[in-house]
Amino acid sequence: MCGIVAYLGKKPAQPILIEGLKRLEYRGYDSAGLGLINGSEIKIIKSSGRISVLEEILGEPDPKEVVGIGHTRWATHGQPNTINAHPHLDYTGKIALAHNGIIENYSTLKTWLISKGCTFKSETDTEVIANLIGYLYSNTDGKDCPKDDQNRFEWAVQHALNELVGTYGLAIICADFPEMLIGAKKGSPLILGLGKNEYVIASDAAAIVEHTTQVIYLSDNEMVTITPQGFHTKTIDNVEIHKELKQIEFSLNAIELDGFKHYMLKEIYEQPKALGMCLGGRLDLRDNRVVLGGIGKYWREFTRSKRIIINACGTAWHAGLIGEFLIEQLARINAETQYASEFRYRNPIIEDDTVVIAISQSGETADTLAAVEQARERGAITLGIVNVVGSTIARTTDAGVYLRVGPEIGVASTKAFTAQVAVLAMLGIELGRRRHLSAEQVRCYIQELSRIPSKIEDVLTLSDHIKKIAEATCDRENWLFLGRGFNYPVALEGALKLKEISYIHAEGLPAAEMKHGPIALITKGMPAVFIATKCSQYDKIIGNIEEVRARGGRTIVVANKGDDNIRPYADFLIEVPEVLEEFQPMVTVVPLQILAYHAAVLRGHDVDKPRNLAKSVTVE
């Protein structure tokens, strides 16, 4: 979840590293630091707090410092203070590294290293890696240890990595080799960008795209060694490998604020265009079918499947729950949605004809990736629904569908959620077409799906109205979000958004479950958000609204435009366009995103960098 950037080239490294860290700050912002090679020494500058704090203590860039590493942290081991900030030096002062991931056996390694005379300054697991490399590099008793220094350094890195249990994305430098940079990956993303006479290593393409669009994606248990003469890639077991050059598929403009105050607001407003990109070329109205090229030869297995398991975490889990309902409704296949963080530690039953779908915006979510690997080991066909091209889940699954919504920088996911639901809807429609849906049903579904972007445009015009609702309610510390059917997961997502960025306690529920306990929470003036659009359970949810009103709660109701019947039940009414019931979540979630955004801003919070959260959860 931390952000790593490293540079080797001819330009001063400091400003390049700082700019890269700013583009990665959504991955963590507890502390930050730089490690720069200056002659035969490594200069470390780090601080707690945001990158802006680090900038204040930096001096002018030294033109001789053309190799360096940078890190922005989301704390796991040890508090977010300056001592625990990365980069970490080894006990000899010669080796420095930045790390994204968790080392599970760090305690055992630390005890052993202390017995060998190594000293530690921090509480982090990362310092163990630095000291282990430093110890192996400084003690050359191993029979297979190379005699020349450069190869000995690589040898020490490889042997250290083979001792680690856990995950890592690493950028490593050594004072003895001021023109060398090493990167390594296992379970945490790491990309090498190839520019003209310069190289950038980063956790995310956002930190690379300003310098080059040519990249190499490292796979697990691989490392890259870079010098001004070039680079070479190998496994950590010293097997040379050839990596294919890839193209970054977005521009620098895609990760700029473009006049918006926050990335989250920008991404909320990007949803019509983003969803248009997601659907573009995939809805074939002429031949009355959905085209998902990434599934290719697996359509037959998907169509014949008897069970589909959807694995995801957080917002993606809410999208998966809607997908479960869609697949059962449209394709009549047994589907279930599971938390990847639980699935990976269970002994799940994977029978023949089981398909496992993994949903992750980043394609790097550690729990979801582990669930995929377990499913593959048990013989399931796996499908990845991800946004980031070349991500680990995209490369690990048998088949996949990209969201194609462009970079999502805001920690609170918005446009990725609507696209995930859209992909699941397309999957459900095509599976249904191949199994039992009539041509007229398929045509109706495809046409309705194609109209969703314009209906979201209509919802976006309500932002000022929703802001007034937030002004009247955001001082309350406990909220309920309630929905039924396809809008039940929307209630969960609306509650999560409010929690994530405004720090208001909110609970999402199926509306019918409120009377089975949570109704005891309702007090006078407590906000209760209902998604009450026209659907098969419309009359039932009006009854649930009445139950809240009878107990003094204030109702915020998302309903269809022109539904005068519901006005008497709403203290605050948000009117959205009518949509086919199965596809309503893509429209009804948008006002809840806007509501959470305005509540957070009114309460004075940093919307894009909510406390304790980071964008891509690449650790357990």
- What are the residue numbers of the active site? 2, 615
Query: Dihedral, CA atoms, 149, 150, 153, 158, nearest 10 degrees?
Result: -130
**Exposure of 374 by Cβ count < 10 A (0-12 exposed, 13-18 middle, 19+ buried)?**
buried
155 residue type, one letter: W
Contact 476, 527 (CB under 8 A): yes
Beta-carbon contacts of 204 under 8 Å, excluding residues fewer than 6 positions away, are 3, 23, 24, 27, 189, 191, 616
What the block records as the tokens of 523 is 């007090």
Contact 180, 189 (CB under 8 A): no
Distance CA(464)–CA(558), nearest Å, equals: 15
What the block records as the tokens of 29 is 């912002």
User: Strand 67-73 relative to strand 3-8: parallel, antiparallel, unpaired?
Assistant: antiparallel
Contact 275, 414 (CB under 8 A): no
Task: Dump the DSSP string for 22-76.
Answer: HHHGGG--SEEEEEEEETTEEEEEEEES-HHHHHHH--SPPTT--EEEEEEE--S
* C-alpha closest to that of 46 among 109, 127, 112, 137: 127
Distance CA(584)–CA(486), nearest Å, equals: 7
Q: In what order do the strands lie in the sheet with 88-89?
A: 88-89, 95-100, 168-174, 177-186, 222-227, 230-235, 240-241
What the block records as the tokens of 381 is 């066909």
Beta bridge partners of 451: none
The contacts found for 340-349 with CB under 8 angstroms, 24 or more apart, are 340/311, 340/312, 340/313, 340/365, 340/367, 340/368, 340/370, 340/371, 341/313, 341/367, 341/620, 343/309, 343/311, 343/371, 343/374, 344/370, 344/371, 344/374, 348/309, 348/374, 348/375, 348/378
Distance CA(306)–CA(315), nearest Å, equals: 26
Report cis status (omega within 30 of 0) of the bond before 591. no
Ranges of beta strands (E only) in 398-458 are 399-402
Distance CA(415)–CA(266), nearest Å, equals: 10
What the block records as the tokens of 35 is 């490690």
User: Strand 41-48 relative to strand 95-100: parallel, antiparallel, unpaired?
Assistant: unpaired
Contact 361, 340 (CB under 8 A): no
**Exposure of 402 by Cβ count < 10 A (0-12 exposed, 13-18 middle, 19+ buried)?**
buried
User: Strand 191-194 relative to strand 199-202: parallel, antiparallel, unpaired?
Assistant: antiparallel
Distance CA(303)–CA(64), nearest Å, equals: 60
